[in-house]
Structure 1
């Protein structure tokens, strides 16, 4: 009922039989045998010349490290480490690098505190004031980092509408590093905020 009509039924109905179109051209070559394909892909699991293989691997790793190091200095997004890639991370780096951060100098303050505490006698009143000064600097760093985190989140939301996870923390940790030692290297000068 729903199947095709037989050829004899079509002729008996008075309709001429349809001729198939010209035969389709083949793919031009026979299908390769599985055995031949597997033989073409076969390679030794362990290279025959291990020394040469190790040298090639070392050379490739050295080139990759050099490319990453150049990217960290120039800011080339293609070869940056995964944790530093992306528009939001670049924007955050520029915001952090454009401002003066109190956290940059925390390590210097801690080092000065240690040196002074060795020089000043333990029982003196000066030791108390030095300790208070260090805690004041530490509190300033915490406040400055908190303020910076809020500013980064606000700017990222205004520019990108949403903030990628970990970007604010990335900026806060960058602010605690001494500017000349930051990687990727700062691409903006102080006061040159990104738009």
Structure 2
């Protein structure tokens, strides 16, 4: 009898409302709807065709900027179709890691153009015409032609040996045209310095 009464008194003891024992994380769990609402960014629909066109131009400009940054970093997924593939990369790296005569063609032509604009005395002008235009220009043209043919043949042969299962279509012309460009204006940017050392990556 005493035992049952004692048990009843223990069971009927109320639990304090301010139980000091912590429950869970100590803060209410946010509702899923509220959490998703904070992650969402407001999207403003264009009110008219002019606003829609402006938003499209802004989006396209951002995409072009992102693509250009990717190309500067050497990410192939941003390259034009003509620059993609292991064969094209091999051709670029081979040309960029060497100094060839044809890469000086454009700077040489610019120097000749500037010399013709400077008002030298007639005697000096005659010497310039004879030395640069009569001798230097033909020599440069022969050097460019020879270098372009050699680069085209060399790259195509080495690429065929390295990538026997890949298409070699246009690879010789691709390498020769890159060799004609001024090094700092080449795009995609060179990944190697003359001599074969890796070029510093642009951020």
- Distance apart, 1:149 and its partner CA: 0.7
- Distance apart, 1:125 and its partner CA: 5.3
- Distance apart, 1:136 and its partner CA: 0.4
- Distance apart, 1:51 and its partner CA: 2.6
Q: Do 1:104 and 1:179's aligned partners in 2 also have CA atoms closer than 8 Å? A: yes
**Superposed counterparts of 1:150-165, under 5 Å:** 150-161=153-164, 162-165=166-169
Pair 1:71-2:70 in alignment: yes
Q: Do 1:156 and 1:163's aligned partners in 2 also have CA atoms closer than 8 Å? A: no
Q: Residues of 1 paired with 2:121 and 2:158: CA distance? A: 45
Q: Do 1:95 and 1:193's aligned partners in 2 also have CA atoms closer than 8 Å? A: no
**Superposed counterparts of 1:107-126, under 5 Å:** 107-118=106-117, 119=120, 121=122, 124=126, 126=128
1:117-174 CA-partner distances (Å, limit 9, x unpaired): 4536388355223221111012111111111111101111111115432222111111
TM-score computed with the length of structure 1 as normaliser = 0.67
Q: Which runs of 5+ in 1 are unaligned?
A: 1-46
Give the aligned partner of residue 87 of structure 1: 86
Pair 1:145-2:145 in alignment: no
1:14-73 CA-partner distances (Å, limit 9, x unpaired): xxxxxxxxxxxxxxxxxxxxxxxxxxxxxxxxx872133212311221122112211221
Q: Residues of 1 paired with 2:79 and 2:128: CA distance? A: 48
Q: Do 1:120 and 1:127's aligned partners in 2 also have CA atoms closer than 8 Å? A: no
TM-score computed with the length of structure 2 as normaliser = 0.65
Q: Residues of 1 paired with 2:145 and 2:177: CA distance? A: 12
Give the aligned partner of residue 128 of structure 1: 130
Q: How many residues align?
A: 148
What's the secondary structure of 1:188's corresponding residue? coil
Q: Do 2:152 and 2:171's aligned partners in 1 also have CA atoms closer than 8 Å? A: no
Pair 1:175-2:179 in alignment: yes
Q: Which runs of 5+ in 2 are unaligned?
A: 1-45, 199-203
